[in-house]
Chain A
């Protein structure tokens, strides 16, 4: 991730705090500092002196703005057009080793050329292999990607000079190729006020324009004078006590200052990719449904707290757990699911209770009815029980059920057993089946006097044994269709998840390969430069052209 802050140097001895800062003691005993105006707080004592004015100057990009940050990071990416250009390069020379033992700066880009900026010594303009440029002050050891205003005139002079020279002798169109992205890059860097322009915005017509209109008319080039040319190494003559290793280190330091990991040079945007943006059909809706499937499958109690779910860790093992990218998203989905689940459960219960007031009444009879009590006595004795007051039942029905039950209670237990078995057998499979114990016994059974007539201790075992021997419920045509539709959808999104995970894995491997290749390329590039440094001008030039 890109960090917008850089490390402050710790002040060695306590000194006056900069204006706005106050010192505080945390209850832990730590001292911390708070700036009331910026609302900043830090454990590190802010320094009164202007901090490292060299590295993050007023020109420094404000990376808190995401678009600025993207453009900034984009600078570190090799422009895509070039990448394809050089695709075979690393592979072709990959075999060349010899540098493995030396610690190398990780960035794939590297400086290839430098020239002093006339009128602004000791400032140097440095060109990188990937056609970017930055300015460097070897005395102050300062560098900027963004060219400071005050250096602009000098750099314009350099560009003019080069074009002049180029129009004099340059004809090989090939050498212009690496300029394309560079030209774009340079434009981007010139336009201080539009830092959001990314290299992707590069249009190949610009490149054509450079080539076609490249002629002697110097003034005609005024509009293109910002274009640079790193393939013209004529300026190499000045002896600068500043080697390419210095620049490479500088380049890396700049990356570190901005909190960039070495890998970020290679693909700084990787972290910005939205989850699932890899092109697999896998919507957020699917992700949520998958996560809910998971919760359903594990028969999670919707009343339980989220922390319990995580502590148990059962669902974490399932790949559907990662269908949602963040813990926050998962928790939100869990909240939603449990709310839905609880609401559905409530509704179900309400329906069941409303549906048949007889169930509660029969349960009361089961418990209290006895041949010793006549109906009026029973009625008086239990008049306060809710089932006796339920307006949905008529007193006549209550009496009828009571008499029926009491008559049955007078028969032998064996008779009552037989009667219940007969009753069970009369129930069709869709009413009573091998799922009835889990789903709840059917109302039809619960309200039957034959059910209430047998003591639960005997009755329940009898029913259990009978029900277990039954086949599953027959598939209701409509239900079956809905169920298979749901199954199909489920399978589809599970597949999509697998596919997504596969693509992510593949991309990860691809990136690792790219990084490895980039490192190899860097080593080669350095070697090239070293060789180039050792040869004469023409040799150097050919060398660079080859590399490009």
Chain B
């Protein structure tokens, strides 16, 4: 008896996948490299920043292809979400006003931070002092307010 495999794994991806296959592979390789990289010398939490960044970029890529460029079909988009090529939760946030550029879900969770407020990267640049440079703790975001 053959090994039981998930249906979606067995079925070939929907049409149009070949158009984006190469770029998805590049993302996958980048992600692998980032994970296998020895941790940088800096603080420990920074080790995951690059992974967050690539995940963000890839989600954005899929999001743009479907919503902004109408380049991929609904079945393909759904398939990509199902297979983890994009973060459906994050994309759901991007559709909301004020969250169009949100970097990651952690940055809007108030519980995890120690002063019960969203991350500093959510503060619009216009409200920062000139030249003030920030980088957030959770994902290394340098600012993701919609108005930036």
Contacts and interface: CB of A to CB of B under 8 A. Distances in A.
Interface of A: 3, 5, 24-28, 32, 39-44, 301-305, 307-308, 335, 338-339, 342-343
Contact of B70 (A5, A43, A343): A343
A38 B117 CA distance: 18
Contacts of B22: 301
Contact of B114 (A25, A40, A308): A25
A319 B128 CA distance: 35
Nearest to B61: A305
B64 to A, nearest CB: 8
Contacts of B135: 28
A338 B61 CA distance: 13
Q: Is the interface of B mostly helix, strand, loop or mixed?
A: loop
Interface in B115-148: 115, 117, 119-120, 123, 127-130, 132, 134-138
Contacts of B57: 305, 307
A308 B129 contact: no
B113 interface: yes
Interface residues of B, number: 31
- 3 closest Cβ contacts across the A-B interface? A27-B137, A342-B71, A42-B129
A338 B137 contact: no
A360 to B, nearest CB: 14
B77 to A, nearest CB: 13
Contact of B138 (A24, A27, A39, A342): A27
20 contacts: A3-B130, A5-B129, A24-B115, A24-B117, A25-B115, A27-B114, A27-B136, A28-B134, A28-B135, A28-B137, A32-B120, A41-B127, A42-B129, A43-B132, A44-B129, A303-B23, A303-B65, A305-B60, A335-B68, A339-B69
B129 A338 contact: no
Contacts of A42: 128-129, 132
Contacts of A338: 69, 71
B19 A303 contact: yes
Nearest to A24: B115
A28 to B, nearest CB: 5
Given A24-B117, A28-B135, A5 B130 contact: yes
A41 B132 CA distance: 10
